[in-house]
Amino acid sequence: MRYPVPSTCVDHEGKFFSANGISPVRTWDGYASDSGVAAVPEPATGVTVTSYGSGEIAGVRYAYYRYVDADGNAGNVSPLSEPFTPAYITKVITGATNATPIVITTEDAHGLVTGETVKISSVNGAYTANGTWVVTVLTDTTVSLDGSAGLGDYTDGGELNQGVAALVYSAVEVPSDSRVVKRQILRNKDGNAQVFYIDIDSTDLVATSFTSYSTDDDLTEAVTIVATTGENIALSSHSEPPPFKRYMTYHQSRLWLVGDVRYNEGAVLVTNGSASVTGIGHTGWTSSMVGWEFFVRSTGTNQVYTISAINTTTQVITLSENYTGTTNQYAFYAVRPGDDVRRTIYYSGLEDTVAFDLDLAVTMPDDQGAGDITGLMSYSSTLHVMFEHSLYRLSYQVSPSGDGDIRRASARGCLNQNCYVLVDDVAYMLDRKGFWAYYGNDQEALGAKVQPLFQMDSDVRINFERSEHFHAAHDSMNETVKWFVCLKGLRYPKHAVCYNYRNKRWWIEEYTCPITANSLGELGNTPQLFLGTDGARTLAFGHVPIDGARRENGTVNGTVTSATTISITDSTATFSSQWVGLPLLIVSGKGRGQRRMISAATTTKLSVVQPWVIRPDTTSVYQVGGFQGLYRTGWFRYVQTGNDEHRGLELSYEPADTGYCATRKYLDRNTVAENAGYTRSSADGDGISTTDGEPEFVVDLTKSSGFVAKYDDGFLEYRVDGARHMQLEVEIVPDGERLEVSGINLLGLRAKGG
């Protein structure tokens, strides 16, 4: 199945969280053997309370119980038990004196012994008799209540219950969830049903019954069940994070969750009059989708159904009612959470990131033009909620749902939570309209020069069908933001639209492999941008000039001695089996520019995954793990002053033992580079070699000066049809060490129109 791209964050305790909208939120503390589902489940049924023996425990009792995980996080409590009045002996009261102490008369022999505890209730008139007391026996039917004082004459009513020695909690559920490491039973004290106390705290996960001999005085660890507002907070404030929200962030000591998944993988078989829907293809429905809405694109229906059950093994959905549309053997469909929760923002307790109160949530305004929620951004002291076409600001003082204020901050949006980068106080974002910068109280559209990427009639445009996989990275060393996007219908991004925010320059980079994710971290105590790609590989951006291959382990470059349609052979090479899975680039000669993945390696032969379009020959130079760097200037106008003008090129670079660097010249909008026109060795060309018939001016990287120049003859031209515009292309392929071209000086040119 295809999993939605998840979002991640880290809380104040350093816990790692991830959410994907179709599975429970997961967490990891960096020490456990693996991540687990965040928070703790709650028991479904209440506990039953009974008593044992005679003793001091008297008065009406209630009990909850709850599960606790290894980190000490407690889940919601169970439903409340039925009220239980402990009574070893129960007697009807017929009289109570208005004296100190009060003397109680029972209807028949009470059977008590001096020093035992009783609960007196429902006495009218002599109201101060009601309560829990230690008694002194006077006769078979009378007792005095130690410490009592009469304040009224008895009229009628009254019941005497002798306290019990122990409370017995039974019907306690055995947890099936591996997160649970212990169970706690909470009970109230006599006369108070607001605050409960931990009575049982047991790691026994098997027993269904527990006995407590603790008196009220023994109970010390209080748990507030009912808030001062009267709300029962323990029933809901420790709920698990909602699994149907996919974007999360950590902001002001809370975990926040928004956005949902519109899931439509595969197709469905729907039958008129049946509630069963069968998945076709890799539907991958999860149990978290129960309760979601189900839509089907079929004739005869536009009804929305609710999913009541999912068999995740057979991939069969059961709807809450029979399907009323036309039977369809293979219909397109979609499932998504209900409209009531789609605009809802959930947040955790303060500094309690695994405890969610699902009744306390913020609902975003019904802004039809904003589109779907696409993410969250913690910006300054406020939380920003990103939509496809809008940006909202949420601020609050105490409680987000209580005094939260939501205002629209911009009419621009963001594609997803990974498509923005914060640089100082500026958020650089990408939406369907283009790139833009958000300054908090102001905004600015960016990138007029790359706007054709967003236009439908453009040859090269962004494929928004795959926007889920777009992401932005901040290359802080080069003061550049890179948006990795899919062009031309590619599944994963292989191109980055780059913006240098210092120089306000734009360019597009193409990568040899898909760049599917990124994260800024550290490598050797220096900032490092990590990139994710295919084959579960992680790349260190800008750190290594070749992809995965090290010269110490085998030959990484050379000249081909023979080739087939799916291999090359270098009889002088000692290739490593580690080269399998790495890219192989034909750097120069026949077949130049072709790149293939290596599928097998012997000592002298490398096989590739896809056949060569142009089969290399003995002129071909190859590079294992080669990254090809291409830079092309804009068009420049040749200077025509009427005087002799030198035209030429000067190139400065860092000398290198190996690697490849060449330039090509394009004239007057021609898409084919100009032929060098002559053959010359590096020695004859002062560091630049050429081959007649080929366009490359190959630079001798070993030249210790790090400088080459190629000057054309003195030039004086008045003819109209001479070359008027020129564009230069520089190509580099490093070989195991950093290759840097530091300067390009073009002579005899001026900027177009300038």
Partner 1 sequence: MNRGRVTLGEYLALSVLCRTVANPPLVANPASAPNVSIYDNDFTKIVDAQKMPPKDLPNAVGLFEIHQPIDSTFSVGHYTVLYRWSDGVSTGAATDTFEVVAGGDAVGATTAMKFYRRPDSDWIATHSDLAGTFKFRKNPRLRP
Least spacing, CB of residue 629 vs partner 1, in Å: 20
DSSP-derived letter for residue 552 is G
Q: Measure the CA–CA gap between 552 and 461, rounded to whole angstroms.
A: 42
Q: Measure the CA–CA gap between 14 and 241, rounded to whole angstroms.
A: 18
**Amino acid making up residue 189:** K
Maximum Cα interatomic distance, the chain, rounded to a whole number of Å: 136
Q: Which residues pair with 746 in a beta bridge?
A: 649
Cβ closest to partner 1, residue 582 vs residue 688: 582
Cβ closest to partner 1, residue 394 vs residue 601: 601
Cβ closest to partner 1, residue 458 vs residue 476: 476
Least spacing, CB of residue 327 vs partner 1, in Å: 11
Q: Measure the CA–CA gap between 512 and 740, rounded to whole angstroms.
A: 19
Cβ closest to partner 1, residue 333 vs residue 438: 333
Cβ closest to partner 1, residue 537 vs residue 724: 537
Short-list 499, 487, 739, CA closest to 623: 739
Least spacing, CB of residue 419 vs partner 1, in Å: 13
By residue count, the chain amounts to 754
Short-list 161, 160, 199, CA closest to 183: 199
Q: Are 500 and 478 in contact (CB under 8 A)?
A: yes
Cβ closest to partner 1, residue 290 vs residue 597: 597
Cβ closest to partner 1, residue 217 vs residue 465: 465
Least spacing, CB of residue 547 vs partner 1, in Å: 10
Least spacing, CB of residue 421 vs partner 1, in Å: 15
Cβ closest to partner 1, residue 490 vs residue 744: 490
Least spacing, CB of residue 567 vs partner 1, in Å: 12
Q: Measure the CA–CA gap between 702 and 654, rounded to whole angstroms.
A: 9
Q: Which residues pair with 212 in a beta bridge?
A: 167
Least spacing, CB of residue 420 vs partner 1, in Å: 15
Cβ closest to partner 1, residue 424 vs residue 522: 522
What separation in angstroms does the CA of 475 have from each of 331, 386, 482, 501? 45, 23, 7, 11
Cβ closest to partner 1, residue 490 vs residue 746: 490
Q: Measure the CA–CA gap between 578 and 573, rounded to whole angstroms.
A: 14
SS3 of 708, please?
Answer: strand
Task: Please name the helix (run of DSSP H) or strand (run of DSSP E) that holds residue 342, with its range, or none.
Answer: helix 339-342
Phi, psi of 14 (to 5 degrees): 85, 15
Cβ closest to partner 1, residue 196 vs residue 622: 622
Least spacing, CB of residue 532 vs partner 1, in Å: 3
Q: Could you tell me the two tokens for 319? A: 């709807």
Q: How far from each other are the two terminal CA atoms of the chain, in whole angstroms?
A: 56
Least spacing, CB of residue 375 vs partner 1, in Å: 13
175-197 b/e (C-beta count within 10 Å ≥ 16 → b)? beeebbebbbbbbbbbeeeeebb
Cβ closest to partner 1, residue 298 vs residue 690: 298
Least spacing, CB of residue 159 vs partner 1, in Å: 60
Contacts of 130 (CB under 8 A, 6+ apart): 120, 121, 122, 123
Cβ closest to partner 1, residue 246 vs residue 412: 246
Least spacing, CB of residue 354 vs partner 1, in Å: 17
Decide: residue 736, CB within 10 A, 0-12 exposed, 13-18 middle, 19+ buried: buried
Least spacing, CB of residue 470 vs partner 1, in Å: 11
How many CA atoms within 13 Å lie on the side-chain side of 151? 6
Cβ closest to partner 1, residue 491 vs residue 632: 491
Cβ closest to partner 1, residue 161 vs residue 518: 518
Task: Report the 3 state secondary structure along 90-104.
Answer: EEEEEEECCCCCCEE
Short-list 433, 393, 440, 439, CA closest to 413: 433
Q: Measure the CA–CA gap between 557 and 660, rounded to whole angstroms.
A: 11
Least spacing, CB of residue 263 vs partner 1, in Å: 14
Q: Are 657 and 702 in contact (CB under 8 A)?
A: yes
Q: Measure the CA–CA gap between 304 and 191, rounded to whole angstroms.
A: 51
Least spacing, CB of residue 539 vs partner 1, in Å: 10
Least spacing, CB of residue 238 vs partner 1, in Å: 24
β-strand pairing of 103-106 with 352-363: unpaired
Q: Are 389 and 430 in contact (CB under 8 A)?
A: no
Q: Cα 733 vs. chain centroid, distance in angstroms?
A: 35
Contacts of 17 (CB under 8 A, 6+ apart): 8, 9, 10, 11, 25, 26, 27, 38, 248, 250, 255, 353
Least spacing, CB of residue 5 vs partner 1, in Å: 5
- Contact residues for partner 1, defined by CB under 8 A: 1-3, 5-8, 10, 14, 16, 18, 20, 23, 26, 28, 30-31, 35, 266-267, 269, 279-282, 329-330, 332, 418, 469, 491-492, 514, 516-523, 530, 532-538, 540, 543-544, 548, 550, 580-581, 597-600, 609-610
Cβ closest to partner 1, residue 5 vs residue 198: 5
Task: Please name the helix (run of DSSP H) or strand (run of DSSP E) that holds residue 52, with its range, or none.
Answer: strand 48-57
